[in-house]
Amino acid sequence: MVRKKSMNKIALSILVSIILTVIIVSLVNVGLSIFMERPDYSDFCGEFKTQEIMDSQESCEAIGGKWNPEGKSYPPARAVDGDVQVIDGYCDRDFTCREELEEAEDDYDQKRYYVFALIGFTLLLIGLFSKEILIQITGLASGGILVFEGIVTNFDNKIVTFISLLLIFVVFGVLAYRIVNKD
């Protein structure tokens, strides 16, 4: 009878920990979206720059675009006063603003990574040092998920991610080893 109650308590602790883990990870994600606004395409590139056809490098660069002399021409040919004019190249109208957007997104992802890694690492340590099984499972699971989510959001900046993950691995690994093997 005592063993059955103990097994029920462990099963209940695991189930509650799974639910708490989902709630904690969701809270961190929603909280972060409230306090950190994701860069938006329309904030950098607007809706439409112009409807006219860019047929030269000068006109393209005047609107912040980048002229690409190679590749398909757009339009392939057009009539000007009865003559057919071929445009060699095309204009990437949003080149400049898209570069600014990508830079802002990289900065945003870097900040999100630090928040996820810090909160995740803290939860890993709480789970590691706690004596209560519910807190152990919840802290370790939600901490691991948040660190993983941070990695996924900042995978473009591999050096920073690698170094910080290496530090988390070493500190957490050493502490976990000591706690697990404590006599």
**Tens digits of residue pLDDT in 12-59:** 989 999 999 999 999 999 999 999 999 998 888 877 655 667 777 888
Q: Which helix (H) or strand (E) holds 54?
A: none
In the DSSP assignment, the letter for residue 39 is: P
56 compared with 78, residue with greater pLDDT: 56
The token duo for 160 is 């920073």
Look over the chain and give the mean of its residue pLDDT values, rounded to a whole number: 84
- Cβ atoms of residues 66 and 96 within 8 Å: yes
Helix 95-129 vs helix 158-180: angle between axes, to the nearest 10 degrees? 10
- Cβ atoms of residues 19 and 141 within 8 Å: no
